[in-house]
Structure 1
Amino acid sequence: MSDHLPANHPAVLTPKIGVLLLNLGTPDATDYWSVRRYLKEFLSDRRVIETPPWLWWPLLNLVILSVRPQKSGHAYAQIWDKDRNESPLLVITRNQAENLGQRLAGHDNVMVDFAMRYGNPSTRSRLEALHAAGCSKILLVPLYPQNSATTTATANDKAFDVLKTMRWQPAVRTAPAYFEDAKYIETLGNSIREGVAALDFEPDLVITSYHGMPVSYLERGDVYHCQCYKTTRLVREYLGWEKDRIMLTFQSRFGPTKWLEPYTDVTLAALPGRGIKKVAILAPAFSADCIETLEEIAMQGRETFMEAGGEQFAYIPCLNDSPGGMDMIEAMVRRELSGWL
């Protein structure tokens, strides 16, 4: 075929299938300007902040971005991977992509990569890399078990924003949320059972803490709230636990508006007064440990609980790139690639 191409024609590559894992994002470093750049991109997303721009723009640029980067930078510094000089989210997501690539290595035409919605590696840079490698089909995999406009939707939005500026248009699929997928429930349930069994105490209560959102987003039709509750219910049923052994809370609220309740921090402060002094907690909305799990829950949550009179506190890690977690991601990706492989 190449004999019939013009002499200056670009090389014709063997068609490939791209799998692009998508996660939220991370600053490049913990200093003020790195964190500020990240927060500005994140908090300028109209999917994340639905406040009218005329009100939000001055608040963000004149107030929040003047003070928040120092606080967030300090929090990131507490959990930063000093050896890699990267955030745990970046390290773990890269590991997930590399592990999945090894698992799919039997298919010579499949490439696995990862991108961040905010920060680096950017969605644009990785889509351009997949294009340059000859990918004519791409599976976008938002690594969010529960669907939300603030996470799943904006990750896909960013990918399509990039594609609509490119003449090259691959066939594209988007993987759905997997909150009720049997393999996910089994894997999450096993991680809880094993996590509790490894403790040197018996928890009075296990808490599933999900990232929160303003109540107004739920009222406008976001399905996230329902899917969080269904996740915890399905896991409880898988484990065969009574209702009072596991509960659900929401964390990471921001600003003065009402967010989804019950709040994780308020709950942790109140439990010891109710006689619940030994807890284990996990964050099922996150596919990889990050600042919201390692600093907000494992550190701040512990401090809140112990200062309120708690006696034992344990954080159960996310699925991350554990064997079980990777088995789940592989099964999901293979299912979504059906007909392409």
Structure 2
Amino acid sequence: MLDHIPPERPGRGRLAHAPKQHPPVPARRTGILLANLGTPDGTDYWSMRRYLAEFLSDRRVIEWPAWIWQPILQGIVLTRRPFSSGAAYRGIWNTERDESPLLTITRRQTAALAARMAARHGDRVMVEFCMRYGNPSTGSVIRRMQAAGCDRILFFPLYPQYAAATTATANDQAFRALMTLRWQPALRTVPAYHDHPAYVAALAASVERAYAGLETRPTALVASYHGLPQSYFAKGDPYHCHCQKTSRLLAGRLGWDRAAIHTTFQSRFGPEEWLQPYTVDYVAKLAREGHERIAVMAPGFASDCVETLEEINGEIREAFEHAGGRDFHYIPCLNDDAAHLDMIEAIVRSEAQGWLDEAPAEAAAPETAPA
């Protein structure tokens, strides 16, 4: 929860035209809710187990029948994986705040967007963030926003490229939250923004900034996206196409030949065939082909996290160096960079048209007929 947003706003109370028994009603607000993947509460075994159990029990993530998957998950995966995942998180953990970098960065993104909204709309717009898995949960934040007067919420999954296992499951969770409310706010969802000009421009600026700081220019730029089972793509998931389009548009924005950006996929899980080429194998191939210096970026992640800070800068870097590569440069995610915030704000203003421009109303409660 953002520290600068009080649980009750000035003006909250009983309406002048309402009967004495009418409960207090907050003034109307529009809500902006940024949604990210999630994070464990800690790196210990039980924190990791709770997080992984929620994540890997999502039928959008693992589409196997529950009668097949759940015995494997409960009996094998959740007895072993919390140890290795906990070790990976400990290597990147924000010890000062005792939280994951993804949580730290998402909070900063939210605070920056809230400041921008407040400068133009005062306290009529409430900006919050939630996580699909872990805390703060989607349901708890939507309920809090509704209680604070948000009768309209723009739900913004921070996934540039659409996938059922990311964008769709985030939206699912938001609508599940609405099912628990007596008085539901109106809800809009932000679509994929893999080809949004401001997103592509922000990516290009991050590459140009990174390259400007290097003494020797890399001979290859690898755009590593999170992987997805090949079977999901075969069923009609557009994720692979969105990733390819992002890379193509990025090359065009940079003024490069399309072949100058190598699109790969990371973070495989399980025995299925996933989208290829696999990043860890591909960077080793580049090294063997004579590319001594490469740069790697992760356009599909809105915030640096364990997949970027530990997997790319750890396992994938090691694969490149072990194959003979010398200079591996990781380009950070957009995080809370000003260009990224410009993009998020531009999308919010576009998708919330008619909501942000309305004059403030006295309260969210309807007129109550006299007794």
Q: Does residue 236 of the first structure (1) align with residue 244 of the second (2)?
A: no
TM-superposed deviation, 1:334: 1.1
Among candidates 108, 112, 121, match of residue 107 of structure 1 = 121
TM-superposed deviation, 1:4: 4.2
Letter in 2 for 1:107: H
CA contact (8 A) 2:265 2:278 kept: yes
Letter in 2 for 1:207: V
CA contact (8 A) 1:273 1:309 kept: yes
TM-superposed deviation, 1:290: 0.3
Letter in 2 for 1:101: A
Equivalent residue for 2:330? 315
Q: Does residue 142 of the first structure (1) align with residue 157 of the second (2)?
A: yes
Rounded to whole Å, the distance in 2 between the matches of 1:337 and 1:211 is: 29
CA contact (8 A) 1:201 1:312 kept: no
Among candidates 15, 26, 29, match of residue 16 of structure 1 = 29
Rounded to whole Å, the distance in 2 between the matches of 1:2 and 1:137 is: 20
Q: Deviations over 1:93-147 (max 9, x none)?
A: 0111110000011213100000000000000110011011000100000000000
Kindly name which structure, 1 or 2, has the bigger radius of gyration based on alpha carbons.
Answer: 2
Task: Structure 1: give runs of 5+ residues left out of the alignment.
Answer: none
Rounded to whole Å, the distance in 2 between the matches of 1:143 and 1:227 is: 14
* Identical-pair percentage: 55
Equivalent residue for 2:349? 334
Q: Does residue 182 of the first structure (1) align with residue 233 of the second (2)?
A: no
CA contact (8 A) 2:89 2:306 kept: yes
Count residues in correspondence: 341
State which drifts further: 37-46 or 192-201.
192-201
Equivalent residue for 2:235? 220
Structure 1 length as normaliser, TM-score? 0.98
Matches within 5 A, 1:42-61: 42-61=55-74
Q: Deviations over 1:64-109 (max 9, x none)?
A: 0000000000000000011111100000001111100000112131
Equivalent residue for 1:246? 261
Equivalent residue for 1:66? 79
SS in 1 for 2:246: helix
Q: Does residue 116 of the first structure (1) align with residue 125 of the second (2)?
A: no
Rounded to whole Å, the distance in 2 between the matches of 1:205 and 1:28 is: 37
Among candidates 277, 285, 297, match of residue 312 of structure 2 = 297
Rounded to whole Å, the distance in 2 between the matches of 1:237 and 1:296 is: 28
SS in 1 for 2:140: helix
Rounded to whole Å, the distance in 2 between the matches of 1:235 and 1:244 is: 11
Q: Deviations over 1:148-175 (max 9, x none)?
A: 1000000010010111121111111101
TM-superposed deviation, 1:3: 4.1
Structure 2 length as normaliser, TM-score? 0.90
Among candidates 278, 295, 303, match of residue 280 of structure 1 = 295
SS in 2 for 1:19: strand
Rounded to whole Å, the distance in 2 between the matches of 1:258 and 1:28 is: 31
Rounded to whole Å, the distance in 2 between the matches of 1:173 and 1:111 is: 15
Q: Does residue 165 of the first structure (1) align with residue 180 of the second (2)?
A: yes
TM-superposed deviation, 1:284: 0.4
CA contact (8 A) 2:89 2:100 kept: yes
Task: Structure 2: give runs of 5+ residues left out of the alignment.
Answer: 1-13, 357-371
TM-superposed deviation, 1:6: 3.6
SS in 2 for 1:2: coil
TM-superposed deviation, 1:34: 0.2
Rounded to whole Å, the distance in 2 between the matches of 1:215 and 1:283 is: 20
Q: Does residue 98 of the first structure (1) align with residue 111 of the second (2)?
A: yes
Coordinate RMSD, CA, aligned = 1.0
Letter in 1 for 2:32: V
